[in-house]
Structure 1
């Protein structure tokens, strides 16, 4: 079980991942809806990842990386 509350660095890195997703999406010239369609996920999921309001599922990050044609490492590098 994760510690509760989470250490400060966890939400900070989650925000960094969201920033990386947003930057890659923007470079690809896609809206959140466009990325969601390519990745086969809900636009709200993309928004939640970019805004860091929820912890992203690995499956969602894998789908996003594939849809953007970027390595997963580029999205999770902090």
Structure 2
């Protein structure tokens, strides 16, 4: 049986997280492909995370934060 879709507030938080990752990536003048390479992910995974279409694994967020050279908490912006 499929699980229920996440509530709207979770989807909004995913999108906000993705926006901060994208902004930071753009500030660093990195393409999605380059960030993916630095983080050991594929470009499609980075794209899905930035768009909020995928619930990011915490391990992948650690990888992205390290690749962007920012503390993980900066990506959450709270």
Aligned residues: CA RMSD: 1.3
Aligned length: 76
Task: Within 5 Å, give how 1:1-78 maps onto structure 2.
Answer: 4-77=4-77
Residue segments in structure 1 that go unaligned for 5+ positions in a row: none
Tell me how far apart the structure 2 counterparts of residues 36 and 43 of structure 1 sit (CA, whole Å): 5
Tell me how far apart the structure 1 counterparts of residues 5 and 52 of structure 2 sit (CA, whole Å): 16
Tell me how far apart the structure 2 counterparts of residues 77 and 57 of structure 1 sit (CA, whole Å): 18
Misfit runs of 4+, over 3 Å: none
Tell me how far apart the structure 2 counterparts of residues 37 and 9 of structure 1 sit (CA, whole Å): 31
State TM-score, norm by structure 2. 0.90
Tell me how far apart the structure 2 counterparts of residues 71 and 39 of structure 1 sit (CA, whole Å): 14
Q: Deviation per CA, 1:30-54, whole angstroms, max 9, x where unpaired?
A: 0000000111111111000001111
Residue segments in structure 2 that go unaligned for 5+ positions in a row: none
